[in-house]
Amino acid sequence: MTIAVVIDSLERFYFVRRLVKALDKEGDFVFMTSEPLAHLFFRLEGRHSIYLRRAKNNSSGLAYGSSLFDRSIEVMNGTIDAHVARQDWMATFTAALDVFNRLAITVCVMWNGQQLICRAVGHACSTYGVRVRFLELSNLPEKLFADDEGVNALSTVARDPSIIDRFSMPDLSEHERWLRRYEEYKRRPLPQSQTSIRRKGLSLLNYAVKVLTQGVGRKRLDRSRASNGVRLPAIASSIGEDALISRRYVFLPLQVSGDTQIKLHSDVDNLEAIRIALELAESEGMDLIVKLHPAENDRAVIDEIARLQTIHQFQIVTTAAVDLIKHAAMVVTINSTVGLEAMLYGKKVVALGRCLYREFDRDRLMKYIHGFLVDGIDYFGNGPIDPRAARRVFSNDGRI
């Protein structure tokens, strides 16, 4: 069995490196990557890696509709110009066609599927009839989302929630133990908002090499991304649990403004979500408490949120989301997994965007967490991955 894996960032490389190590003797892997250091490390380990580079004077992409690349998250966020995206998409598509022509690829694994190079490889998969496996964070401890159709609102679960019903209900004591681990996990700093100095240095080196070697998918260098998100407004404060218990409030967890969840799966952005949540809170005679996403790095969006706060006097907090959820009267979200988490505590959830859990009841929620999601995968960890968990990443039945 030969598995193709798309690597569109160094963060993805760190995870995939651990993942395939768990299955070294069970399948052959070929990596298609836009990251020169990932390519170098794979080659030094003796693995089959293809570095995706921009072709000179490649105008053949004109034959393909612009929707294939201008709906990529990089173009939508303005981090890659459309004319550059066309060139990079075509170079990636051509390289992927060559791989599928030469090798009998059984499945192609990629993260999310909406990044520029993933969309190009995905189109090549469609051309050759190669099965695609999409991965995404579940934002739940040691759980990974994997699906053959897509992630979030594009997944099989979103299209047909009844597929969850075939899974068995978990043992209640097992769920309670997991819930305690979940609460402990959620009180820690968000992993994606923290990056080591070493990895930041490698990212800068990787970017420089990508510029010199014309690697595809090169975004504009954003200095705010060199830090782990933008500094919160001075008005953000922490609320103790006792104070939360004594208040009736609507909790609105904001999302990363440039994330695919907002750009592709919602007609409502963070600012509009605040306005809607304000109306709901006022109609119920409740306060509005807002928490910015720790990985938010759009200074203009944060400044506008602070401006809205001075006008409407809602509260911006740094309190752990799990505590805010547990004591909220209502949780309003665009389509964040915080909405799903609020369902764990029986909270009323108002989802403003398209989300996979809209049709979930408590049974489906439990089966989704303990049956559908791949268990035993810590995406941000450094340790080895259990081979049984790794197999389920590549196949629903856990067979490679």
pLDDT interval class at 235 (50, 70, 90)? confident
Q: Is the pLDDT of residue 60 over 60?
A: no
pLDDT of residue 81: 95
Neighbours of 81 (CB within 10 A): 12
Nearest to 353 by CA among 334, 336, 337, 339: 334
Residue 250 has a pLDDT of: 98
Is residue 228 pLDDT above 60, yes or no?
A: no
Summarize the chain as % helix, strand, coil (round to 5).
45, 15, 40
Buried b (16+ CB within 10 A) or exposed e, 289-306: bbbbbbbbbbeebbeebb
List the strands of the sheet with 315-316, edge to edge: 315-316, 287-291, 249-253, 330-333, 348-351
Q: What is the CATH number of domain 2-181+372-394?
A: 3.40.50
Instruction: Identify the pLDDT of residue 194.
Output: 64
pLDDT tens-digit map of 120-154: 999 999 999 999 999 999 999 999 999 999 999 99
Task: Report the distance separating Cα 361 and Cα 292, nearest Å.
Answer: 27
Report the predicted TM-score, pTM, of the whole model to 2 decimal places.
Answer: 0.92
Q: E strand or H helix at 168, and its extent? A: none
> Residue 29: is its pLDDT beyond 50?
yes
- The pLDDT of residue 41 is above 90: yes
**Higher per-residue pLDDT: 272 or 57:** 272
Domain residues of the chain, as ranges? 2-181+372-394, 225-359
Mean predicted lDDT score pLDDT of the chain: 92
Query: Is the separation of the CB atoms in 316 and 253 below 8 Å?
Result: no
* pLDDT average, residue stretch 77-100: 95
CATH fold group of domain 225-359: Rossmann fold (3.40.50)
- Residues 389-397 have a mean pLDDT of 91
Per-residue confidence (pLDDT) for residue 295, from 0 to 100: 87
Instruction: Please list, residue by residue across 109-136, b when 16 or more beta carbons sit within 10 angstroms of its beta carbon and e when fewer do.
Output: bbbbbbbbbbbbbbbbbeeeebebbbbb
Q: Between 65 and 268, where is the model more confident?
A: 268
